[in-house]
Amino acid sequence: MDLAAFVAVYFSAVAALVALLLFGEAPAFAGTPVPRLHWLVTRGWVDGVEWAVGKVCGARGLGALDAAVVRCCERSNPILQLLYLLVVGTGYAAFWRHVFVLLPNGFASSYHMCAADDSG
């Protein structure tokens, strides 16, 4: 698959997912597969994981899964906050290392250097 086809498929999939998440519960789509797909994307896979853990690990596994969900998702978690800062900092550093040195060029004028430099 060439790059243009890959990008087109990727953007189409992302657009379909965003539309599904935004409009999946809308009354206009009642009676269509859209509400079912919305449930599958937002809650169905979670129910499937819980069911599988319950079948494989029993009540103890379900308790461990619930404890992990509470610890990671439902209360303040410093490790996830540090991970978020690491991701944002890495993106910022990658911009300054790989993109800023290319400004100005034929596609972005020298104004973009001033705008990027003035952001801090």
* pLDDT (tens digit per residue) in 76-97: 888 888 999 999 999 999 988 8
Can you say how many angstroms the Cα of residue 102 is from the centroid of all Cα atoms in its chain? 28
The tokens describing 93, both together, are 């550093």
Model pTM score:
0.59
Domain boundaries, the chain: 1-75, 78-120
Q: Which of 5-9, 20-24, 41-45, 76-80 has the lowest mean pLDDT?
A: 76-80
Mean pLDDT along residues 26-49: 93
